[in-house]
Structures are given as C-alpha cells and as structure tokens.
C-alpha cells in the first residue's frame, strides 16, 4: 500500500470523485462544465497522491495547496450549477459539505508542513 492510500483525506477525495462521476453520467451538462468539473475533482485526489511522493515538506505542501485549490474550483462550479438550476439543493449541499471537509483536512496537512 502506498502512503497516500492510508490518508483519510485521500479516501474522502476519491469518494467525492466517484460521486461527481455518477452525477456527470446521470445529468446532461454543457461539455465544458463536464470537462472542468471532472478535471478539478480528479485533481484533488491526484495532487494528494503526488504530494505524498515528495521528499521535502515544501514540495508536499505545494501539492496539497494545489489540491485545495481544485476543491475550491469544484465549489465554484457546483455553485454555478445550483444557481442556474442544473442541480438541486440537496445535491449541492451534499457535495459542498464533502468539499468543505476535504478542504479543512487539506488545510491541516498544509499547516503541519509549515
């Protein structure tokens, strides 16, 4: 098992990514939104994984910062989808709460590497 697979934040990011994938397969969105949301949600977990492979704290921290930025990007996309009535409030709140938890966990990792 790789180190990143042991991280709770990685497991939560992966679960979030599966939920996004399911949403994008069941609801028709503009292809640009689909592409951007797929890439941003995937980026969260991939940057966590890549960050754990780095030797220096500074390098690890940088990847965790990028991962957190991708979570914020997902929030902005989901907010747009909710406000344009493309997703319902329950879906929006569910995904938003997962991103908030992931963001807080990443923030803690980032702070521990300062």
pLDDT for the residue numbered 46: 98
76-114 pLDDT tens trace: 999 999 999 999 999 999 999 999 999 999 999 999 998
Using the CB atoms, write b or e for 65-86: b if 16+ within 10 Å: bbbbbbbebbbebbeebbeeeb
pLDDT for the residue numbered 114: 85
The rounded mean pLDDT for the chain is: 97
With residue 78 as reference, give the H or E element that holds it: helix 57-83
Q: Which two tokens stand for residue 101?
A: 């938890």
Please tell me which residue, 1 or 72, carries the higher pLDDT value. Answer: 72
37-53 pLDDT tens trace: 999 999 999 999 999 99
Q: pTM above the 0.85 mark?
A: yes
Q: Per-domain residue ranges for the chain?
A: 3-112
Q: Which CATH architecture has domain 3-112?
A: Up-down Bundle (1.20)
pLDDT for the residue numbered 102: 98
Mean pLDDT of 16-35: 95
């Amino acid at each position: 098992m790789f180190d990143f697979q042991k991280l709770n934040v990685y497991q939560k990011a992966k679960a979030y990514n599966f939920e996004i994938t399911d949403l994008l397969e069941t609801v028709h969105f503009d292809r640009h939104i689909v592409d951007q949301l797929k890439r941003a949600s995937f980026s969260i977990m991939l940057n966590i994984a890549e960050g754990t492979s780095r030797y220096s704290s500074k390098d690890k921290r940088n990847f965790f910062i990028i991962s957190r930025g991708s979570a914020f990007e997902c929030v902005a996309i989901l907010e747009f989808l909710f406000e344009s009535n493309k997703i319902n409030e329950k879906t929006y709140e569910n995904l938003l709460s997962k991103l908030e938890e992931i963001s807080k966990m990443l923030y803690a990792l980032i702070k521990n590497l300062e």
